[in-house]
Amino acid sequence: MTNPMTKPSISKPLSLERFPLHLGLGARAESQPEFTGMEWYAAYAERTAADGAEGRLVSQYSFTENWTSWEMHPVGDEVVICIAGEIMLIQELPDGTASSVTLHAGEYAINGRGVWHTADIASHATALFITAGVGTEHRPR
């Protein structure tokens, strides 16, 4: 039950593409500093380490080119929601087989825990990611 003496807090609007969001323990939602590139992820991991595998990074990216690397999230699943354009997710399954799925606006897919994945972009795509990011690994494509 909500305490009637507590006023809900309303934050200012932020661009998800510039300022990712962290979902933490205790149903917390915390705006993150502006995304500055790949080095940003190490600082994010330090800021949110106490949430461990249960913490989730919510981020949005726009793409005009195929990804140049693969990634894998060893502690949990990643949800990929296409919000504009078309993105083809390519997954390398644990048994060594490959699988792919093309997402259009409003569709989503799940990159399972431990599944290596990359993406191809038809011409452009914007996607929302909800990621269990602890221990994420990358390798060249």
Task: Provide, rounded to the nearest whole percent, the portion of the chain with pLDDT above 90.
Answer: 87
Q: What is the pLDDT of residue 11?
A: 77
Two structure tokens written together for 45: 């991991």
Give yes or no for residue 53 having a pLDDT over 70: yes
Report all structural domains of the chain as residue ranges with CATH numbers, in order of start.
21-140 (2.60.120.10)
Q: Residues 78, 131: contact at Cβ < 8 Å?
A: yes
Closest CA to 113 of 87, 140, 97, 131: 131
| Cα–Cα distance list, 43 to 32, 46, 49, 97, 129 (Å) | 10, 5, 10, 34, 18
Q: What is the pLDDT of residue 7?
A: 57
Region 109-124: what's the mean pLDDT? Answer: 97
Closest CA to 80 of 97, 58, 113: 58
Q: What is the mean pLDDT of the chain?
A: 93
Q: What is the pLDDT of residue 9?
A: 66
pLDDT digits (tens, 9 = 90+) for 9-29: 677 899 999 999 999 999 999
Q: Which residues contact 65 (CB under 8 A, 6 or more apart)?
A: 121
pLDDT digits (tens, 9 = 90+) for 57-75: 999 999 999 999 999 999 9
If one counts every other C-beta atom within 10 angstroms of the C-beta of residue 122, the result is 14
Q: What is the Cα–Cα distance from 114 to 53, expressed in whole angstroms?
A: 13
Closest CA to 108 of 125, 93, 133, 95: 125
H or E segment to which residue 45 belongs: helix 40-47
Q: What is the pLDDT of residue 56?
A: 98
**Taking the complete model, does pTM exceed 0.95, yes or no?**
no
